[in-house]
Chain A
Amino acid sequence: AAEEGGPCQSKMAGADGDDSLYPIAVLIDELRNEDVQLRLNSIKKLSTIALALGVERTRTELLPFLTDTIYDEDEVLLALAEQLGNFTMLVGGPEYVHCLLPPLESLATVEETVVRDKAVESLRKISQEHSPVDLEVHFEPLVKRLASGDWFTSRTSACGLFSVCYPRVSSTVKAEIRQHFRTLCSDDTPMVRRAAASKLGEFAKVLELDYVKSDIISLFTALASDEQDSVRLLAVEACVSIATLLPQEDLETLVMPTLRQAAEDKSWRVRYMVADKFSELQKAVGPEITKNDLVPAFQNLLKDCEAEVRAAAANKVKEFCENLPEDNREQIIMTHILPCVKELVSDTNQHVKSALASVIMGLSTILGKDNTIEHLLPLFLAQLKDECPEVRLNIISNLDCVNEVIGIRQLSQSLLPAIVELAEDAKWRVRLAIIEYMPLLAGQLGVEFFDEKLNTLCMAWLIDHVYAIREAATCNLMKLVEKFGAEWAQNTIVPKVLGMANDPNYLHRMTTLFCINVIVHCCGYPYREITTKQMLPVVLKMSNDQVANVRFNVAKSLQKIGPVLDSNALQTEVKPVLEKLASDTDMDVKYFAQEAISGECLSSSTIVDKLNT
């Protein structure tokens, strides 16, 4: 844009003017252009401007100007906040890095969360470039100013800065920082308490263990029993970090009372958070507490009265079981978890069932062949018959887990009806989803089973009344051919596809052409016989179709087939047909025919010719 923005497009080298200044001058002027896009562009090239101005003028002129541009659009401010994080060298190196604090401080108080977060990110970055002295003289006072700002936006930004300066300041300043953090944890506005709660874990990590025990735990307990559930739920996340920091023997007294309370919170959102973070919590508290506390807590979450919570817990079933201590994993699963899972299979809420269906197959590898056949198989089969298509789809998409343990044959009896039903579902999106699993199923079930049971379905989708399904079915054919090979294609697919060329419905005739395109693409040169002998004649014949859409698709197909044909076939068979189409009455047919003629393969020698010589 630098070249386009100025008044004079073709600038001559001036007598007194400095030629190299012109593009920079444009960039600087565009910092205040009315067009947001141009301002954004200039901000993104801020380093170029700074480089041209030199470190001195960048510090004394550019940064003061930028500090006051916080009126601008969010996207400009966001770009500015990001740029300033990489500006240290441009203001003269670490010695002067504190010059970047004023603009970032004002950006850290704007109302848009994304901009504030980016400003905080940049502040964190440049804090590392401050010398220990500068950190106390310049950076820490900024954190204090933000922390005691009038508006909550600045106080929320402060929360993210404590942990980066704490490790590098003197013990007096450390004490002050801890005090500021404490104050923000009991701020009047929930926005600030939420920001503090979400940074509690990160702050705990840089604190000395004694202070973690004395300060952090009391803050954590207070936030976890905040009157607003939006604050309490964030304490759950902090719980993970804090538990990781504490020695095992302290967990029971310092963390577990709060965690137990959160798992039974009156608010479903807090319980949801516990369920959602369950695997992390489990790893953080270790195997003993998991056995004694988390197993019953997990059972309760799986039976929660709120469906959102049950769904979140159901999502964690496999991970939770996987991470159980190995010595009595099987016993815990069989006696405590599986009964709850069984109930979830017939849950009233479809999201819960669907969440379970996406992970339940994973249990078979954990429980082994016998347990899978005896206990899990009935559940898989029940879910395969579920009224909700999403549940069935989730089971089918995870068949590979169970295949490894017991082989797919055990399931095939029920699998087939489930697939057939989904294949014929009234909702086209459901049909689309099952088509996408076909290549996977084909791989697992093998060619024999496929030919016998599923091939008919795949062919039926080609004449679906929804275009998206026909398109997906065509793409599916390509993947099947890739899997089963060209010979299989020749015997099972090609005859059926070519049969459709005579269909009275022109949409089906077009599908023939689309299928030919992908089959040629898969089989390629080594199997050109199929193309020349079987498919080409059909395509050529279709050039006489009465529907123009079919005719121009013939032209497109010929262009695609071209590269695998030899020059003889091209010249004697393809070219005359394309020439005829090029003088078609229909405009589109003409256009695509000409496109094909001017295409590479007809004008120059083909791959085949090249290979022959």
Chain B
Amino acid sequence: TLELTVRASPTGPGGDMQWCFSQVKGAIDDDVAEADIISTVEFNHTGELLATGDKGGRVVIFQQEIENKSQPQFRSEYNVYSTFQSHEPEFDYLKSLEIEEKINKIRWLPQKNAAQFLLSTNDKTIKLWKISERDKRPEGYNLKEEDGRYKDPNTITSLRVPVLIPMDLMVEASPRRVFANAHTYHINSISVNSDNETYLSADDLRINLWHLEITDRSFNIVDIKPANMEELTEVITAAEFHPHQCNTFVYSSSKGTIRLCDMRASALCDKHSKLFEEPEDPSNRSFFSEIISSISDVKFSHNGRYMMTRDYLSVKIWDLNMENRPVETYQVHEYLRSKLCSLYENDCIFDKFECCWNGNDSVVMTGSYNNFFRMFDRGHRRDVTLEASRENSKPMQVLKPRKVCAGGKRKKDEISVDSLDFNKKILHTAWHPQDNIIAVATTNNLYIFQDKVN
């Protein structure tokens, strides 16, 4: 079998690499306001900016400070650059439905000029935001003083053209486009195409293709809604464009399959060109099989050769050229297999964990419970469990690998499965596109860790 038996490495992925605490954002208060719960985390293409979205419909953007030459052991920190309200709660009067303001996804556009652009979406509406800087302001009126008092118009003897004078840097976020009314179900994914002019948005049953400059129409490219909704057996859980081939995208389903579609073949991509599916292991079959095989996230590797999927218990790496099984499978928290019944009862089994690649596709990362997150080093076949917690938040403190005791005698430093806190879950993580800097969202805090520079 290709499934790897990964051995825990105390040194962490990459052999020598150690992760240390850099920053934590958000309130320390134990009493968490619902609106402050982080719902998505995303670096931009250079890694200079890091965006988070929350359940209150806000987007917060952090900017990496310019490198500090005098203290090279400290990587530059991320500080708040811009905060804005992206979505507001709405009410659909026709369907009598409340539309939450929660930001489901954020995607950065490739940079096109000095300003930055991102797409943010809630369940129904996608918005294109421009984040731009302004460091000059006009000065000089003809008819009033700079403080706003009007002059006597009789005293005007000459015309004055305003001049621009320097001012403190101001960052503005302005909504440029609103892409609405195209989704009947909840949007779970948005993905910008490598052609730089289109993007897709996926809901439970359909995928639409948009032009970034056109808001009044989109093309439906996938529709899996059966004529009779009683025959519904699966839903779309995530979708993403290939990083280089503008005609290729994939979407995953609640049945654990991934379909790859080629938009060159036809206008409507109802027929997939590849179907990635691993045969079910009969020995592991249970009442929960279908639920835990549902894919919660799919991500192409940066080089476009592989894709990674996350289901409830594992992360799988697929080679785009091999459809019948993944090339690598990593267990995220196999010890939960015996707990599925209680996880079903407390609804945790439906948690949607996301996953991400590091800059050179050699390591993947995903979250777990108890504020643990996992990294799998593909080349060295090593894995590590780390924890995002206030206790480890001293500057440059090295993160100690954690270990969960699955049964038998609990060793020193091990945590028993029964003492895991299932309310503390890490669903959203992001990896800097080039450097070893990661952003990990616990409920309402954003942790930034970095590798220890020797």
**Are A17 and B112 interface neighbours, CB within 8 A?**
no
**Are B196 and A68 interface neighbours, CB within 8 A?**
no
How long is the Cα–Cα vector from A65 to B165 in the complex, in angstroms?
Answer: 10
Given A17, A153, A229, which contacts B153 in the complex, CB threshold below 8 Å?
A17
By a CB distance below 8 angstroms, the chain A residues around B359 are none
Give the residue name and chain of the B residue nearest to A270 (CB). Answer: B264
**Are B164 and A68 interface neighbours, CB within 8 A?**
yes
**Are B267 and A229 interface neighbours, CB within 8 A?**
no
By a CB distance below 8 angstroms, the chain B residues around A111 are 112-113, 115, 117, 130, 176
Given A26, A31, A53, A153, which contacts B162 in the complex, CB threshold below 8 Å?
A31
How long is the Cα–Cα vector from A305 to B267 in the complex, in angstroms?
Answer: 11
How long is the Cα–Cα vector from A71 to B163 in the complex, in angstroms?
Answer: 15
How long is the Cα–Cα vector from A11 to B112 in the complex, in angstroms?
Answer: 48
By a CB distance below 8 angstroms, the chain A residues around B263 are 267
How long is the Cα–Cα vector from A307 to B196 in the complex, in angstroms?
Answer: 26
Q: Is B141 interfacial (CB 8 A cutoff)?
A: yes
How long is the Cα–Cα vector from A14 to B130 in the complex, in angstroms?
Answer: 47
Q: Is A22 interfacial (CB 8 A cutoff)?
A: yes
Asked whether A189 and B113 contact (CB < 8 A) given A22-B156, A111-B130, the answer is no
Asked whether A32 and B112 contact (CB < 8 A) given A17-B154, A17-B157, the answer is no
Asked whether A29 and B156 contact (CB < 8 A) given A109-B113, A151-B111, the answer is no
Given B153, B161, B196, B264, which contacts A61 in the complex, CB threshold below 8 Å?
B161
Q: Is A25 interfacial (CB 8 A cutoff)?
A: yes
By a CB distance below 8 angstroms, the chain B residues around A28 are 142, 159-162
Give the residue name and chain of the B residue nearest to A228 (CB). Answer: B246
By a CB distance below 8 angstroms, the chain B residues around A305 are 266
How long is the Cα–Cα vector from A7 to B111 in the complex, in angstroms?
Answer: 44
Binary B-proximity of A191-234 (CB < 8 A = 1, otherwise 0): 10010000000000000000000000000000000011110000
A227–chain B nearest beta-carbon distance, Å:
8
Given B115, B136, B142, B267, which contacts A29 in the complex, CB threshold below 8 Å?
B142
Q: Is A52 interfacial (CB 8 A cutoff)?
A: yes
Q: Is A104 interfacial (CB 8 A cutoff)?
A: no
Given A17, A53, A308, which contacts B161 in the complex, CB threshold below 8 Å?
A53
Q: Is A21 interfacial (CB 8 A cutoff)?
A: yes
**Are B266 and A268 interface neighbours, CB within 8 A?**
yes
Q: Is A447 interfacial (CB 8 A cutoff)?
A: no
State the total of A-B contacts with C-beta under 8 angstroms.
127
Task: Choose among B153, B162, B163, B197 the residue with the greatest number of A CB atoms under 10 Å from its CB.
Answer: B153
How long is the Cα–Cα vector from A12 to B197 in the complex, in angstroms?
Answer: 56
Q: Is A266 interfacial (CB 8 A cutoff)?
A: yes
Q: Is B114 interfacial (CB 8 A cutoff)?
A: yes
By a CB distance below 8 angstroms, the chain A residues around B115 are 111
**Are A14 and B155 interface neighbours, CB within 8 A?**
yes
Q: Is B338 interfacial (CB 8 A cutoff)?
A: no
A103–chain B nearest beta-carbon distance, Å:
13
Task: Choose among A18, A25, A26, A306 the residue with the greatest number of B CB atoms under 10 Å from its CB.
Answer: A25
By a CB distance below 8 angstroms, the chain A residues around B164 are 65, 68
How long is the Cα–Cα vector from A9 to B256 in the complex, in angstroms?
Answer: 72
Given A18, A61, A65, A109, which contacts B156 in the complex, CB threshold below 8 Å?
A18
**Are A17 and B156 interface neighbours, CB within 8 A?**
yes
By a CB distance below 8 angstroms, the chain A residues around B130 are 111
**Are B161 and A62 interface neighbours, CB within 8 A?**
yes
By a CB distance below 8 angstroms, the chain B residues around A62 are 161
A488–chain B nearest beta-carbon distance, Å:
46
**Are B265 and A268 interface neighbours, CB within 8 A?**
yes
Asked whether A65 and B158 contact (CB < 8 A) given A28-B142, A111-B113, A268-B264, the answer is no
Binary A-proximity of B130-161 (CB < 8 A = 1, otherwise 0): 10101010100111100000100111111111
Q: A17-B153, A191-B197 are known; give 5 further A-B pairs, CB within 8 A.
A: A17-B155, A28-B142, A151-B114, A229-B247, A306-B267
- Which residues of B are in contact with A by a Cβ distance under 8 Å? 110-115, 117, 130, 132, 134, 136, 138, 141-144, 150, 153-164, 176, 194-197, 213, 244-247, 263-267
Q: Which 9 A-B pairs have the closest CB atoms?
A: A14-B154, A25-B142, A267-B264, A7-B150, A61-B161, A17-B154, A151-B113, A68-B164, A230-B195
Enumerate 30 A-B pairs (CB-CB under 8 Å) in ascending A order. Answer: A7-B153, A12-B154, A18-B157, A22-B156, A24-B159, A26-B142, A28-B142, A29-B143, A29-B144, A32-B138, A52-B159, A57-B161, A61-B163, A110-B113, A154-B113, A190-B197, A191-B196, A191-B197, A194-B197, A227-B244, A228-B246, A229-B247, A230-B195, A230-B246, A266-B264, A268-B264, A268-B267, A306-B265, A306-B266, A306-B267
- Which residues of A are in contact with B by a Cβ distance under 8 Å? 6-8, 11-12, 14-18, 21-22, 24-26, 28-29, 31-32, 52-53, 57, 61-62, 64-65, 68, 71, 109-111, 113, 151-154, 189-191, 194, 227-230, 266-269, 305-308
